[in-house]
Amino acid sequence: MGGLQRYKTSIRMQRRKPMDMAFEDDVWALFARMGFSFLNKDRNFRLPYSNDEKLTQQIDIFVADEETILIIECKVAGNPKQSNFKETIEAIGGKKEGLITTIQQLFPDTKYKIKFIFATKNYYLSEQDNARLNNYGIIHFDEETLKYYQELTKHLGTSAKYQLLGSIFEGQTIPELDNRIPAIKGKMGGYTYYSFSIEPEKLLKIGYVLHRNKANRKLMPTYQRLIKKSRLKSVQDFVDNGGFFPNSIIINIDTNGKSVRFDSAGNQVEKSISRIGILHLPKKYRSAYIIDGQHRLYGYANSPYKATNCIPVVAFINLERTQQVKLFMQINENQKAVPKNLRNTLNSDLLWNSENRTEQIKALKLQIALSLGEEMQSPLYDRIIIGENIKSATRCITIDTIKVGLDRGNFFGTFDKDSIKTDGTFYKGNNDATLERLFPFIVGCFDYIKNNKNKYAYWIFISIFFTAPIMAEQLGFVMQAVEVLLGINLVAISLFYTYRYFIDTPKKYYLIISVILSGIAFSIYQALTTIYVTAAICLFILYISRKDVTNPKKIWQVIILNIILFF
């Protein structure tokens, strides 16, 4: 499809790109905005994968900088569906080593870090495809991951690359990094910590921010809010004008359970429990998680002072993720308030294994709400606001709304702090087993309603209308004439058939029935015209609010019809 726009002396025509080309261009533009300086110019880029240079592989997107090369394969579908990429993944996996050899031959003087990325849109990967990607060491980027990096790039610009590299090269060594830092070792709250000053440039390379976003759902629990562009710019301007922050950035150093190396200095204060020495930070990507101070750190990312200034840091070692969440909430509850929707998102992880039964069930309900919004097979996919995702016309349901609905049911039973008071329909004794049983049931119910909405919607309307409390009041009102009650029902049925004519099936007898019933209703009791007009306005608002309404002529038909029926 294209577009046509008329001006006084000219016409502007637009032709939309094919869906696959548009998706590739979006992904290409994302990596360009991140600061990768070498990218393929079109879709005809090919690389040999064997000694026979005639055997080449077409590359959708090729990006590189001074240290990194990424090869990206893109797949897109019009509507969400399950994947079947067996042949594609196995073809990439089989040629992967040959392509890497070619790259090394083309750049013999540079030891590039090379990764293959499989980018998809409107596909939810099957278990088999996920297993194939893992087997070949290929990273999967779905549309949520791409949206996350697009949003991050809007705020951080080229500095978003630090977060990307920390994700795709997790655990890989950074050989050029000087990891020795003068530090003080101490104890606080039962935890060992290290206090030191470090150049922001070094911390940015090993640091990672656990943003609470669907792109990071495999790293749950995550807890950080997305970096704000306005706040980041004010921090950068402050730093560039000679400002500094004396308060410490809080991080957690992840050594995969190993002890961190700390070389104590020769001269120590004998009666002090603190020790001074040289701390050896891990020389690996994503080995330092930023608990507090992401804006202060990234404020230096594009600053000329990132290699010449030092920032104070307090580093804990191998904190459990739940401990990181608690520490984050404790710090931020005393500063800027954590939004309720983000607190609910965090509590779904934080309270999951709580010893308090009521807290466990709260976490279970919150997790069901999250899964309904995050899983592509859910009819509510991307319609629930998760963490600090931006609210939109379709993404407008809060986690709390889903939880309130679950509170009203008997899926879980009732609990006190230490025990189960009454059993629920789906409760299996623990959160994991209950989620595994209940979530597919809820998705199935929504799917059934979605797929059969036209079949049962009318009976739902009729049932709700005739059993409404106001109808019961009318029946119990001794001064009310029976024919007036009949007229009220005829008005409702008349509007019902009008709506069906324009929204469902344009059958002429729907309009005839509507006109006849409304005429009978008005002849019974003329005051029913006010009810009719009010209901017709509501009908019109519902009609024009539908996404598929694009024909103004049809909208005017509804208005004129209602006016004619009124008079």
SS (H, E, C) 222-276: CCECCCCHHHHHHHHHHHHCCCCCCCCEEEEECCCCCCCEEEECCCCCCCCCCEE
Question: Is residue 395 within 8 Å of residue 380, measured between CB atoms?
Answer: no
Average pLDDT, rounded, for the chain: 82
> Which of 75-84, 393-402, 450-459 has the weakest average pLDDT?
450-459
Give the C-alpha separation, 504 to 515, whole Å: 18
User: In this model, does residue 244 exceed pLDDT 60?
Assistant: yes
The pLDDT of residue 333 is 61
Share of the chain above pLDDT 90, in %: 23
User: In this model, does residue 195 exceed pLDDT 90?
Assistant: yes
The pLDDT of residue 14 is 73
Distances (CA, A) of 164 to 139, 158, 283, 321, 550: 12, 10, 17, 20, 40
Give the C-alpha separation, 129 to 112, whole Å: 27
Give the C-alpha separation, 72 to 138, whole Å: 10
Average pLDDT (182-211) is: 90
Query: What would the pLDDT profile of 413-470 be if each residue is shown by its tens digit?
Result: 888 888 888 888 888 888 888 988 899 898 888 887 777 655 555 566 666 666 677 6
Query: What would the pLDDT profile of 514-537 be if each residue is shown by its tens digit?
Result: 888 888 888 888 888 888 888 777
The pLDDT of residue 58 is 93
In this structure, the number of other CB atoms found within 10 A of the CB of residue 121 comes to 22
Structure confidence at residue 219 as a pLDDT band (50, 70, 90): low
Q: Which of 22-36, 319-333, 455-469 reaches the highest mean pLDDT?
A: 22-36
Query: Any idea what the Cα angle at residue 327 is, between residues 322 and 331, rounded to 5°?
Result: 150
Structure confidence at residue 36 as a pLDDT band (50, 70, 90): very high
DSSP tag of 211: B
Query: Any idea what the Cα angle at residue 83 is, between residues 82 and 85, rounded to 5°?
Result: 170
Q: DSSP E strands: which ranges in 273-358?
A: 275-280, 288-292, 311-317
Map 389-402 to HEC letters: CCCCCCCCEEHHHH
Average pLDDT (232-240) is: 78
CA 464 to chain centroid, in Å, comes to: 35
Give the C-alpha separation, 348 to 328, whole Å: 15
Give the C-alpha separation, 289 to 314, whole Å: 12
> Which of 165-179, 222-236, 541-555 has the weakest average pLDDT?
541-555
Give the C-alpha separation, 463 to 508, whole Å: 25
> Which of 87-91, 266-270, 320-324, 461-465 has the weakest average pLDDT?
461-465
Query: What would the pLDDT profile of 95-106 be if each residue is shown by its tens digit?
Result: 999 999 999 988
User: For residue 392, which of 419, 415, 373, 414 has the smallest C-alpha distance?
Assistant: 373
